[in-house]
């Protein structure tokens, strides 16, 4: 049953984070790039003030998969690096913790761009 | 500041001797799909990139327009051509192999009317025996230049319009057969304070209103003088705005109004939001549909007021507005 | 023109249809939530395979990014996004899509100045502001720790 609730929370929290993004798009006309950026920065702030870790404990993937989770990861990496290396850590931790995500995006992006042909958008009614 | 009224040109000796349209797959699935001269199913027609493909659309449109006459490229005197891409890429690369004297023009989506108006003027003045107006737009090349990469999952708002993948070409000469170009009014740049990139219709409606109204005044006509008043690509939002603006003057334009952006696609079945747009949109609708009906006399007198959003992505990012423009061309059976 | 920009703007606002929020928000919730559930399942799978918690999280991100790259290449990601809106934008897959789509799109302008240079046209700001925010946080954290 615990396992089941884990998935329910992941769905609810993850879905809510996306729904908030949709509200921002519909009401404020924020461009998608701005929303991505705001989410990551918001994640850094939420991670810094310590609200994000409890959310991850509750929702797991529901909190780590949205980009706020990526921001939290940056904050966490910086915190650990500062603990270990002092002020220099502020300049180390972010990239260290973001390494896998960014490297994967670059590498898989390159491979996908090499393999696939550029194509147009398909026009269909939602 | 005194408002400059501008002039309406009268033409006595200019008719559209030939016209042709080429469209992409989505456009061919719209309500007027059967009326276009050629459909390029994969939207590329064998070209390697979308920019090259847009050139190909123009090339094919002009070739088809010439094929309907005895004219060949070496007998053509002049081309006015334009598109949405930087440096009028589609026109200059697409039409270069014809080796016809060429003037590139830009009026955003109003370019086809601008081309007709200029071609008519040159023919009417006797400088040339014939002149072509050619324009195109391509969804994929426009999207790449103005918005996001094609396979990016960014969301479009309901007021956004869909750039048509289409081209139209019309050859104007002094032949004495319809459709005749009888008059034209050059639009003024109207900045209505709209800055939403996804709401071009609203940015252009004011310009259409101003140009149509001036055309009426100079010609001594009104809505009822015309069988149809055809705007370029105001889309749903822009058309509604146009009705509202005319309603303030107590004029009902809706009964005679058609908008090419609302006609090109089936908005129920195709996900084009507020309608079609782009230099190719009204060019294809005019060359594919309306000119035919003026030629055979179903339509006696139409006013074609193409509309363009003179949008610079740089200026909009710097906080600027989107100015609009609209040129009107009166096309008649007699 | 016989109308002020203010009055004109009001008409524009009146006739512009709002987003169909009763449809867009539930769709974003469902599809976004679905992607997170997939993430949760991957986390559990990697944990069951014996990876540490941190490594499971990293592998989950990698897998989701791989899937997003694949779906973008197959021209499916933007089709799903038409329905999902923010549901496919906010998850890490949206970040990956924003990296992969320009790389694919600008391949026609060459491998270096096209694909390579344009890869981060959309995702660039995410890194600029995300990393900068984390550095500022690091400095503040360091100063607070001194006392």
Parent domain of A26:
2-115
Q: Rounded to a whole number, what is the distance in Å from the CA of B269 to chain A's nearest CA?
A: 6
Q: Model confidence at A120, in pLDDT bands (50, 70, 90)?
A: confident
Structure tokens at B260: 């090419």
Q: A18 and C87: CB-CB below 8 Å?
A: yes
pLDDT for B1 equals 42
Contact between B265 and C31 under an 8 Å Cβ cutoff? The reply is no
Parent domain of B158:
8-173
Where do we find the tokens 């955003």?
Answer: B108
- pLDDT averaged over every residue in chain A: 91
Whether A46 is covered by a domain: the verdict is yes
Chain A contact partners (≥3 CB pairs within 8 A): B, C
Task: List chain C residues with CB under 8 Å of B206.
Answer: 1, 3, 8
Phi, psi of A26 (to 5 degrees): -70, -35
Whether A50 is covered by a domain: the verdict is yes
Quick one: B184 and B164 in the same domain? no
How far is C-alpha B257 from the chain's CA centre? 16
pLDDT for B123 equals 97
Domain tally, chain B: 2
Q: Rounded to a whole number, what is the distance in Å from the CA of A91 to chain B's nearest CA?
A: 31
User: What does each C-alpha distance from A46 to A66, B173, C27, C88, C145 come to in angstroms?
Assistant: 13, 69, 26, 22, 19
Domain ranges of chain C: 5-146
CA distance A68 to C143: 25
Whether B322 is covered by a domain: the verdict is yes
Q: C99 and A121: CB-CB below 8 Å?
A: no
Task: List chain A residues with CB under 8 Å of B271.
Answer: 123-126
Quick one: B289 and B214 in the same domain? yes
Count CB neighbours of A126 within 10 A: 12
CA distance B124 to B143: 37
Q: Model confidence at A123, in pLDDT bands (50, 70, 90)?
A: low
Altogether, the residues listed in chain C come to a count of: 147
| Closest in B50, B155, B271 to A25, CB measured | B155
Which residue from C minimizes the CA distance to A114? C104
Q: C126 and A10: CB-CB below 8 Å?
A: no
Phi, psi of B276 (to 5 degrees): -85, 165
CA distance B27 to B40: 10
Task: List chain B residues with CB under 8 Å of A25.
Answer: 155, 157
Quick one: B93 and B217 in the same domain? no
Whether B211 is covered by a domain: the verdict is yes
Whether B1 is covered by a domain: the verdict is no
Q: Which of B173, B196, B219 is the last residue of a domain?
A: B173
CA-wise closest residue to B79 among B28, B51, B53, B116 = B116
Walk along chain B (334 residues) in steps of 10 and give the mean pLDDT of each run: 75 95 94 94 90 96 95 95 93 95 95 96 96 96 88 82 94 94 95 89 94 95 95 93 94 95 90 88 96 95 96 90 96 93
CA distance B141 to B50: 5
Contact between B298 and B154 under an 8 Å Cβ cutoff? The reply is no
DSSP A118: P
CA distance B179 to B18: 9
**Which of A13-50 are b and which e, b meaning 16 or more Cβ less than 10 Å from the residue's Cβ?**
bbbbbbbbbbbbbbeeeebbbebbbbbbbbbbbbbbee
Altogether, the residues listed in chain B come to a count of: 334
Whether B81 is covered by a domain: the verdict is yes
Whether B2 is covered by a domain: the verdict is no
DSSP C79: H
Q: pTM to 2 decimals?
A: 0.92
Quick one: B165 and B210 in the same domain? no
Q: C101 and B240: CB-CB below 8 Å?
A: no
CA angle (B293, B299, B304) in 5-degree steps: 90
Whether A69 is covered by a domain: the verdict is yes
Domain tally, chain A: 1
Residue B162, domain CATH: 3.40.47.40
Q: Model confidence at A28, in pLDDT bands (50, 70, 90)?
A: confident
3-state SS string for chain B:
CCCCCCCEEECCCCEEEEEEEEEEHHHHCCCCHHHCCEEECCCCCCCCCHHHHHHHHHHHHHHHHHHCCCCCHHHCCCEEEECCCHHHHHHHHHCHHHCCCEEECCCHHHHHHHHHHHHHHHHHHCCCCEEEEEEEECHHHHHHHHCCCCCCCCCCCCCCCEECCEEEEEEEECCCCCCEEEEEECCCCECCCCCCCCCHHHHHHHHHHHHHHHHHHHHCCCHHHCCEEEECCCHHHHHHHHHHHHHHCCCCCHHHEEEHHHHCCCCCCCCCCCCEECHHHHHHHHHHHHHHHHHCCCCCEEEEEEEEECCCHHHHHCCCCCCEEEEEEEEECC
Digitized pLDDT (tens) for each residue of chain C, 147 residues in all? 778 888 899 998 888 888 788 889 999 999 999 999 999 999 999 999 999 988 999 999 999 999 999 999 999 999 999 889 999 999 999 999 999 999 999 999 999 999 999 999 999 999 999 999 999 999 999 999 998
What is the rounded average pLDDT of the residues A15-32? 90
Task: List chain B residues with CB under 8 Å of C15.
Answer: 202, 237, 240-241, 244
pLDDT for A43 equals 96
Taking 50 as the threshold, does the pLDDT of residue A20 lie above it?
yes
Phi, psi of B191 (to 5 degrees): -100, 105
Quick one: B154 and B193 in the same domain? no
The B residues from 75 to 134 touching C (CB cutoff 8 Å) are none
Whether A120 is covered by a domain: the verdict is no
CA distance A72 to A18: 16
Quick one: B218 and B152 in the same domain? no
């Amino acid at each position: 049953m615990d396992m089941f609730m884990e998935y329910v929370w992941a769905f609810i929290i993850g879905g809510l984070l996306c729904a908030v993004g949709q509200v921002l798009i519909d009401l404020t006309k924020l461009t998608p790039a701005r929303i991505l950026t705001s989410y990551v920065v918001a994640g850094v702030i939420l991670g810094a003030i310590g609200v994000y870790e409890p959310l991850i404990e509750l929702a797991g993937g529901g909190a780590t998969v949205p980009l706020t989770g990526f921001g939290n990861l940056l904050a966490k990496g910086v915190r650990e690096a500062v603990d270990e290396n002092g002020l220099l850590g502020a300049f180390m931790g972010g990239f260290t913790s973001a390494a896998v995500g960014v490297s994967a995006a670059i590498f898989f992006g390159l491979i996908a761009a090499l393999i696939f042909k550029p194509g147009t958008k398909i026009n269909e009614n939602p | 500041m005194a408002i400059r009224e501008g002039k309406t040109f009268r033409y006595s000796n200019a008719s559209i001797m030939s016209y042709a349209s080429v469209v992409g797959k989505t456009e061919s699935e719209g309500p007027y799909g059967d009326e276009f001269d050629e459909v390029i199913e994969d939207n590329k027609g064998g070209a390697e990139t979308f920019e090259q493909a847009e050139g190909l659309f123009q090339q094919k449109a002009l070739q088809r327009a010439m094929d309907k006459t005895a004219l060949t490229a070496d007998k053509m005197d002049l081309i006015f051509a334009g598109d949405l891409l930087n440096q009028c890429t589609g026109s200059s690369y697409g039409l270069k192999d014809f080796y016809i004297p060429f003037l590139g023009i830009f009026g955003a989506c109003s370019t086809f009317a601008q081309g007709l108006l200029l071609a008519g003027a040159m023919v009417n003045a006797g400088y040339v025996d014939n002149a072509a107006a050619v324009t195109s737009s391509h969804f994929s090349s426009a999207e790449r230049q103005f918005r996001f990469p094609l396979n990016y999952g960014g969301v479009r708002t309901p007021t956004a319009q869909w750039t048509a993948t289409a081209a139209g070409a019309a050859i104007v000469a002094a032949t004495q057969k319809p459709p005749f170009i009888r008059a034209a009014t050059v639009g003024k740049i109207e900045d209505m304070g709209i800055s939403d990139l996804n709401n071009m219709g609203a940015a252009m409606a004011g310009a259409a209103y101003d140009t149509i109204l001036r055309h009426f005044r100079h010609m001594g006509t009104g809505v009822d003088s015309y069988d149809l008043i055809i705007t370029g690509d105001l889309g749903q939002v822009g058309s509604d705005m146009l009705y509202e603006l005319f309603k303030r003057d107590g004029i009902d334009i809706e009964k005679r109004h058609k908008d090419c952006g609302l006609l090109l696609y089936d908005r129920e079945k195709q996900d084009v939001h507020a309608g079609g747009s782009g230099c190719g949109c009204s060019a294809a609708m005019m060359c594919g549909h309306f000119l035919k009906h003026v030629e055979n006399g179903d339509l006696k007198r139409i006013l074609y007021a193409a509309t363009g959003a003179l949008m610079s992505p740089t200026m909009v990012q710097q906080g600027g507005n989107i100015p609009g423009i609209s040129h009107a061309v009166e096309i008649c059976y007699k | 023109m016989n109308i002020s920009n203010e009055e004109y703007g009001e008409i524009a606002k009146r006739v512009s249809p709002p987003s169909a929020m009763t449809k867009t928000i539930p769709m974003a919730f469902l599809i976004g939530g679905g992607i997170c559930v997939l993430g949760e399942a991957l986390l559990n799978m990697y944990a069951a395979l014996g990876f540490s918690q941190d490594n499971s999280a990293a592998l989950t991100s990698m897998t989701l990014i791989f899937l997003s790259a694949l779906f973008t290449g197959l021209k499916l990601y933007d089709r799903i996004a038409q329905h999902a809106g923010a549901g496919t934008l906010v998850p890490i897959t949206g970040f990956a899509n924003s990296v992969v789509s320009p790389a694919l799109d600008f391949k026609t302008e060459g491998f270096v100045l096209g694909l390579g240079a344009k890869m981060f046209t959309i995702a660039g700001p995410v890194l600029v502001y995300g990393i900068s925010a984390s550095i500022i946080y690091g400095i503040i954290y360091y100063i607070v720790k001194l006392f």
